[in-house]
Structure 1
Amino acid sequence: MNITGRLTRNAEVRTLSNEKQVVNFSVAVNDSYRNKQGERVEQTTYFDCAYWITANVARLLTKGTLVELTGRVSPRAWVNKEGEAKAGLNFHTSQIKLHGGGNRAETVQATAQSESNGFTTEGTEDDLPF
């Protein structure tokens, strides 16, 4: 599955007890449609994202950055301190494409063989109309 949205906060790196690192960040995806009355309705969906492949990507993931993510979605539910039931969406990210200014984009992908910096960055040109 692919989603495109903006980071709502800077990425954070967490180190687990087994010394494995995970990059956590949040993305807002905006959508709009017209209802039966012809009114434009805007809707925002928030995803809590996790990227396990390399922690080095965290420095590129800053608040407001437009990203295209590939991965899988899973729901989560919990009860907060006040006893209220809550729900959210997790996005287990396998590929991150950063969309910068102009037509330039960078792709961060996992590779079968580790490179010195842990991830690859490829510059590509997009023909997107926006």
Structure 2
Amino acid sequence: MIKMQVIGNLGKDCTVNTVNGKNVINFTVAHTEKYKDSQGNQQEKTTWVDCAYWTDRTAVAPYLTKGKQVFVEGQPEVRSFTRNDGTAGASLSMRVRELQLIGGAREEGGGGGYNGGGQQQSYGQPQAAPQRQGAPAAADDMADDLPF
């Protein structure tokens, strides 16, 4: 099995289609990588990934809008084609198994996600344990509370 993971931004709003009675959410993710070339100049390279998320749970679709940052994981596919001028071309696509909406606090609704099973998951910051008031209990005091 080959697995691919991509973090990037949606290039446009998703579309929901029904193919042979099954729902598919189609969207495109752009991953931009910054690097320095051999002369030390800052460069950017953007890779576009066409994504197909086959799921019965399409409730996530309204949140898949242009510019949203997502994490997608799935099986990659390379599609070859011939351009109008006769030259060969290729595109990268993915059959999505897991999808997570990510982003900072400035984005409304960020931090939730959907996995391949369609169950909602929370990926926000872990909550701190409640602080106890007063002095910490001694080890002997805790031993008295044990039922055995």
Question: Shorter-chain TM-score category?
Answer: 0.7 to 0.9
Total equivalences in the alignment: 119
Paired residues for 1:1-130 under 5 Å: 1-16=4-19, 18-54=20-56, 55-81=58-84, 83-102=86-105, 104-111=110-117, 119-126=118-125
Instruction: Measure, in 2, the Cα distance between the counterparts of 1:124 and 1:67.
Output: 12
1: CA distance between counterparts of 2:125 and 2:89? 39
Deviations 1:5-46 (A, max 9, x none): 000011101111x21111100010000111111111110000
SS of the residue 2:38 aligns to: coil
**TM-aligned CA deviation for residue 50 of structure 1:** 0.5
Which consecutive unaligned segments of at least 5 residues does structure 1 have? 112-118
Aligned counterparts of 2:77 and 2:44: Cα–Cα separation in 1: 23
Distance (Å, rounded) in 1 between the aligned partners of 2:125 and 2:78: 32
Q: TM-score, normalised by structure 2?
A: 0.71
Cα deviation digits, residues 98-125 of structure 1 (max 9, x gap)? 01431951120133xxxxxxx3222222
Between Structure 1 and Structure 2, whose CA radius of gyration is higher?
Answer: 2
Runs of 4+ in 1 over 3 A off after TM superposition: 80-84
Corresponding residue of 1:115: none
Consecutive unaligned residues in structure 2, runs of 5 or more: 127-148
Preserved CA contact (<8 Å) 2:112 2:124:
no
RMSD between superposed Cα atoms in Å: 2.0
Q: Percent identity?
A: 33
Q: Scaled by the length of structure 1, what TM-score is found?
A: 0.80
